[in-house]
Amino acid sequence: MWPKKRIILIKKHAETSEKFGKSPEKRTVEELINYGIINVDKPEGPTSHQVSAHVQKILGIKKSGHSGTLDPKVTGVLPVALGKGTRIVQSLLTAGKEYVCLMQVHADVEEKKLRSIINKFIGVIDQLPPVRSAVKRQQRKRTIYYIDIIEIAGREVLFRIGCQAGTYIRKLCSDIGKDLGTGAHMAELRRTRAGPFDEFTLCTMQELTDAYYYYKDKNDDKELRKLVMPVEEGAKHLQRVWVMDSTVDTICHGAFLNIPGIAKLDDGIGPGDKVAVLTLKDELVSVGIAQMYSEEVMRKDKGLFIKSEQVFMEPGTYNKS
């Protein structure tokens, strides 16, 4: 579900020139505000869109985007991408999610039976989205990676769940209740993870407001730097490939990535995988779809490896030669 420890394979040794590009950690605060991402702790009440719009207002920018809708009553992890970085949310929308849920069972149930029924929902399940949902209402398969029961107190069940994007936890609770024969509903829900973002990097709207005030009025960017992360953080859950300086500009102009331009890559990449293409300074160049396995790349001297879907870096950032 989440990025596993990856081994980096060296295709060819290459160095990067300091004349071109800039490591993400060296970007100015102004650059981060226009090409970054914030992990907002969404409060209960506003919609995800309203939270994203409020972030725009606080930072004085014209564009932002969030990485997956949370219902107004749901709280927690809501990555909001800023300015030119908003397209990274497309990669986050399909990333795995984690929630902590409080489920209310409608009648007394023996704990052994309750645990047994809940465990039946781990793995691939069929789920019909609720009547009020953002997707077409038809049966579809979703993967539940784990359900860890934290506490059972009478008819209340508190559990942590890791699941495929697009899983409706409210509907899952209803389906569990149906299998129990008692009925059940979701009482409270908090998202604790979305792709590479978890609760350790959360920031409240008030913290963001205060940090921006100190940056603008007191010329102190220390707190704002902690909250506004480089857009590359939004691609950390993807497999990665690093390209040589001389290859970067061709990709920026729309070319696909062929094997000769590769310096190093993660092991375990396979055809169809979404991959982040990075410079040797770890800047995000593009996101695309792999056409072969990592092992093939290491073995071959030519061939198409990545078909670009989104290009993030501006043409001319790196010299063509």
| Distance of alpha carbon 243 from alpha carbon 256, whole angstroms | 12
| Distance of alpha carbon 89 from alpha carbon 40, whole angstroms | 14
71 is annotated as an active-site residue: yes
- Among 71, 198, 273, 282, the one annotated catalytic: 71
> Cα dihedral sign for 21, 270, 294, 268?
positive
Which CA distances in Å does 318 have to 19, 116, 241, 287? 8, 57, 17, 18
* Six token digits for residue 243: 């390209």
| Distance of alpha carbon 92 from alpha carbon 1, whole angstroms | 13
| Distance of alpha carbon 279 from alpha carbon 147, whole angstroms | 38
Q: Which active-site residues does the annotation give?
A: 71
